[in-house]
Chain A
Amino acid sequence: MPKKGTKSKKVVDDVANEQENKLPDYLELQRTRVVCNADAPIHTLGFQYSGAFAAMGVDNSVSVEKFCKNFKVEINRLTEDDIEFDMIGVDASIANAFRRILIAEVPTMAIEKVFMADNTSVIADEVLSHRLGLIPLDADPRLFDYISENDVPNERNTIVYKLHVSCPKGSQRITVKSSELEWLPEGSQLSMASSAQSGDKQKTFTSFSKSQKQILEKPLGVKFKDITIARLGPGQAIELEAHAVKGVGKVHAKWSPVATAWYRMLPEVVILEEIKGDNAEKLVKKCPVNVFDIEDLGNGEKRAVVAKPRACTLCRQCVMKDDGQKIELRRVRDHFIFTIESTGALPPEVLFTEAVKILEEKCEKVISELS
């Protein structure tokens, strides 16, 4: 699709490049950093408007080409259930969109309907159902469809689990763990009461046309085997069937694929004026996360240096008193340290790509609505 107006955009870019105008240092600082003073942060908003510096001949716009050139990702840690990475060269609005989508709009499977056949435990039906809903399931949501109100539960949109435990009379109290949930790949085993007498095949609450074992590569289960569901005293029993469906976190938090997803801006600690001797020692002690270190200058002289700016939690102890004026705490506006903790349905790196895909889909939807 030929883009209208791309030409005019290009011209603006070229003009800026030719002139090679640069912002004065103090403005560049305001544009790229949030400065955290002892009382409050300043320059928090930045300059959003593309023509903010037009009068100075400086272009503040970000074209896609520019974005693609500057964007960087660095992975710091990647384990089975969490990831930490640096996202560099992106605006807070985009980073926040990814975070919001991760929490509220990436789908997972969770138990939604519970058919209670028997529950003589002390825990009430609705509380038990709620607890079941919150159990993370080890099922890839990408293999399933959403179920809508009038849909019949089938092998493509429903996962059926059975829980049947009882505590024999005269024995010790038992704890029901999530490992007792048994996956039923052939669908529901509970028959609907009305059709119980008619027909050779009894009608159940699901209509699976084939076993889920045929469509899934690995058997489904729960992610964590040791979640306590209930406790049963002697003579008590629970018999139920739980139906899991696909959903998103904005409907109910049980569908949220992340325990948390968050980001923070990269801290930058700058020593504006040299801090020496005893003052340096004091400064190192003052910081609870050991951001500062001491450098030996030889002949007994010591100087404070910034060793681990990344550890800074912005407690601002160092800028409060004494040498406070000599230090500046800043945050880099376009550098995000992004952390995703998965609940287990999908690995964290897949969650992020899924989130980005969802934002793409949103754009596509609105574009097609406007055309």
Chain B
Amino acid sequence: MEHGSLTDLSASTFSIMEEDHTLANSARFVLNQDPRVAFCGYSIPHPADRKVNIRVQTTGDPAKDVMKDALQDLMVMCQHVRGTFDKAVANHKSKKSAEEMDVDRK
């Protein structure tokens, strides 16, 4: 849910249910790396409620768009992490099996 003003779209608080530091902190990191963001932070209003508030203030662009872009970026980053990791695992496995074959030959 977005809490913002009708006239000034450049600042909003996004209230996300069923999420915690896992998403909020990574989103905050990505938002802070975006040059369009003037301020960004998050808080968990009460530890017993499963809810986070992410505050985004931009230099002019609508906060909602910036937020969506940030999450999109985070997704792309995750995909890249997964791809790189899978490649590294495959490399490691093939290297290991090649080494084992060498041992057999000796």
A→B interface (CB under 8 Å) = 1, 3-6, 8-9, 12, 48-51, 59-64, 67-68, 71-75, 78, 85, 87, 90-91, 93-94, 96-97, 100-101, 105, 349, 352-353, 356-357, 359-360, 362-364, 366-367, 369-371
Contacts and interface: CB of A to CB of B under 8 A. Distances in A.
Interface string B81-94: 11011111101110
A75 B80 CA distance: 16
B23 A363 contact: yes
Contacts of B19: 362, 366
**Which among B22, B64, B74 has the greatest number of chain A C-beta atoms within 10 A?**
B22
A50 B22 contact: no
25 contacts: A4-B61, A4-B69, A5-B65, A5-B69, A9-B35, A12-B35, A50-B35, A51-B35, A60-B33, A63-B33, A64-B77, A75-B88, A75-B92, A78-B89, A78-B92, A91-B29, A93-B26, A93-B29, A94-B26, A97-B23, A352-B85, A359-B78, A363-B23, A366-B16, A369-B1
Contacts of A48: 29, 32
Interface in B29-74: 29, 32-37, 61, 64-69, 71-74
**Which among A1, A68, A101 has the greatest number of chain B C-beta atoms within 10 A?**
A68
Contacts of B65: 4-5
Contacts of A96: 21-22, 25
B73 to A, nearest CB: 5
Contacts of A12: 35
Contacts of B16: 366, 369
A6 to B, nearest CB: 8
Contacts of B78: 356-357, 359-360, 363
B46 to A, nearest CB: 17
Contacts of B67: 370
Nearest to A100: B22
A356 B82 contact: yes
Contacts of A50: 32-35, 37
Contact of A356 (B14, B22, B66, B85): B85
Contact of A97 (B1, B25, B35, B79): B25
Contacts of A4: 61, 65, 69
Contacts of B36: 5, 8-9
Nearest to B67: A370
Q: Which 5 A-B pairs have the closest CB atoms?
A: A93-B29, A75-B92, A73-B88, A62-B33, A93-B25
A363 B87 CA distance: 23
A339 to B, nearest CB: 14
Contacts of B77: 64, 67-68, 71, 94
A61 B20 CA distance: 24
B99 to A, nearest CB: 13
Contacts of B73: 64
Nearest to B58: A5
Given A3-B72, A353-B82, A356-B85, A370 B35 contact: no
B10 to A, nearest CB: 12
Nearest to B85: A73
A343 B43 CA distance: 33
A63 B19 CA distance: 25
B93 A78 contact: yes
Given A93-B28, A360-B79, A362-B22, A73 B84 contact: yes
A366 B52 CA distance: 12
A367 B72 contact: yes
Contact of B68 (A67, A349, A352, A367): A367
Given A67-B77, A356-B78, A356-B81, A75 B25 contact: no
B75 A364 contact: yes
Given A94-B26, A100-B21, A370-B64, A74 B79 contact: no
Contacts of B96: 78
